[in-house]
């Protein structure tokens, strides 16, 4: 990434971090993807149970590969033999020591905005796992909650296609939302985390001045 762009991104992130801190989150700046991976893995003691939210960012940063290492108890939602078993893994995630995920959007007002198909990721960010670590590139930052919802909806077709859900937006090559009513709809649950005051620093937000994920 261009050095000037990275500098501008860093300033934006520093500004957001002040807001997140005020709202009870634990914001952390990571200069690079490698640093982000180290920050995340340093926070998780060996032997911890870890759930993850479906995320391109976790793949791009190599964090998912780290979580798969035998020193952690990964609740592996990707390695199941049936839909029911996958749902059981999602349920297990509510009791995890850590949820590691990205976010669809994060506002300059300090709100996390997410849209989900099943609701496991959206709800576990809200409550369940003892600690949550959100990893986000600068491209996830928006101004308002409304912008965050718009952003989440704009990337939903790509997410639907990525997880092979046959929604109209993922199969018609139109890449737009038609507010579908089909069973595999990926936009069933929206969550907005507006603050972290009741469980201070439960949610760490690792911010990287690069574009990551959708
Ligand atoms: S509501 Fe349906 S059509 Fe719209 S983005 Fe979500 S899955 Fe695609």
CB 160 within 8 A of CB 184: yes
Question: Pairing mode, if any, of strands 26-29 and 49-52?
Answer: unpaired
Residue 180, ligand 1, Cβ within 6 A = yes
Does 3-106+119-141+192-208 carry CATH code 3.40.50? yes
Nearest-CA residue for ligand 1 atom 4 is 177
- Whole-angstrom Cα distance, residue 73 to residue 91? 15
Say how many Å lie between the CA of residue 125 and the centre of ligand 1.
22
Task: Please tell me the predicted confidence (pLDDT) of residue 210.
Answer: 96
The set of residues, in sequence order, having a beta carbon less than 8 Å from that of 197 and lying 6+ positions away, is 23, 24
- Sheet containing 112-116: give its strands across: 141-142, 105-107, 112-116, 189-193
Mean pLDDT over 88-107 rounds to 97
Residue 57, ligand 1, Cβ within 6 A = no
Q: What is the CA radius of gyration of the chain?
A: 17
Nearest-CA residue for ligand 1 atom 3 is 177
CA angle 188, 75, 166 (to 5 degrees): 35
CA angle 58, 177, 152 (to 5 degrees): 35
4, 97, 82, 116: which is closest to 46 by C-alpha?
A: 97
Residue 12, ligand 1, Cβ within 6 A = no
Task: Check whether 173 has a pLDDT greater than 80.
Answer: no
Residue 153, ligand 1, Cβ within 6 A = yes
Residue 96, ligand 1, Cβ within 6 A = no
**Ligand 1 atom closest to Cα of residue 170:** 8
Residue 179, ligand 1, Cβ within 6 A = yes
pTM of the prediction?
A: 0.96
Confidence of residue 176 (pLDDT cuts 50, 70, 90): confident
Task: Please tell me the predicted confidence (pLDDT) of residue 179.
Answer: 92
CA atoms within 13 A on the CB side of 17: 19
Task: Please tell me the predicted confidence (pLDDT) of residue 58.
Answer: 97
Residue 168, ligand 1, Cβ within 6 A = yes
Task: Check whether 171 has a pLDDT greater than 90.
Answer: no
Mutate to test the pocket of ligand 1, among 104, 156, 164 (most ligand atoms within 8 A of CB): 156
CB 113 within 8 A of CB 190: yes
110-155 confidence digits (pLDDT tens): 999 999 999 999 999 999 999 999 999 999 999 999 999 999 999 9
Confidence of residue 172 (pLDDT cuts 50, 70, 90): confident
Question: Pairing mode, if any, of strands 112-116 and 105-107?
Answer: antiparallel
Mean pLDDT of all residues belonging to the chain: 96
Task: Please tell me the predicted confidence (pLDDT) of residue 1.
Answer: 79
Confidence of residue 175 (pLDDT cuts 50, 70, 90): confident
9-54 confidence digits (pLDDT tens): 999 999 999 999 999 999 999 999 999 999 999 999 999 999 999 9
């Amino acid at each position: 990434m261009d050095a000037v762009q990275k500098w501008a991104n860093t300033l934006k992130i520093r500004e957001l971090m002040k807001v997140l801190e005020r709202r009870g989150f634990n914001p952390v700046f990571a200069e690079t993807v490698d640093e982000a991976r180290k920050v995340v893995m340093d926070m998780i003691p060996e032997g911890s149970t870890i759930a993850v939210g479906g995320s391109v960012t976790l793949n791009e940063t190599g964090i998912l590969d780290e979580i798969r290492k035998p020193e952690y108890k990964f609740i592996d939602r990707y390695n199941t033999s049936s839909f029911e078993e996958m749902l059981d893994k999602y349920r297990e995630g509510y009791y995890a020591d850590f949820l590691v995920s990205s976010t669809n959007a994060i506002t300059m007002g300090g709100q996390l905005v997410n849209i989900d198909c099943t609701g496991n990721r959206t709800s576990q960010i809200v409550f369940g796992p003892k600690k949550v670590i959100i990893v986000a590139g600068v491209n996830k930052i928006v101004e308002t909650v409304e912008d965050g919802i718009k952003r989440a909806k704009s990337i939903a077709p790509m997410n639907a296609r990525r997880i092979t859900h046959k929604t109209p937006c993922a199969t018609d090559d139109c890449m737009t939302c038609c507010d579908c009513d089909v069973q595999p709809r990926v936009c069933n649950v929206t969550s907005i985390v507006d603050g972290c005051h009741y469980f201070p620093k439960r949610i760490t937000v690792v911010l990287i001045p690069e574009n990551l994920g959708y």
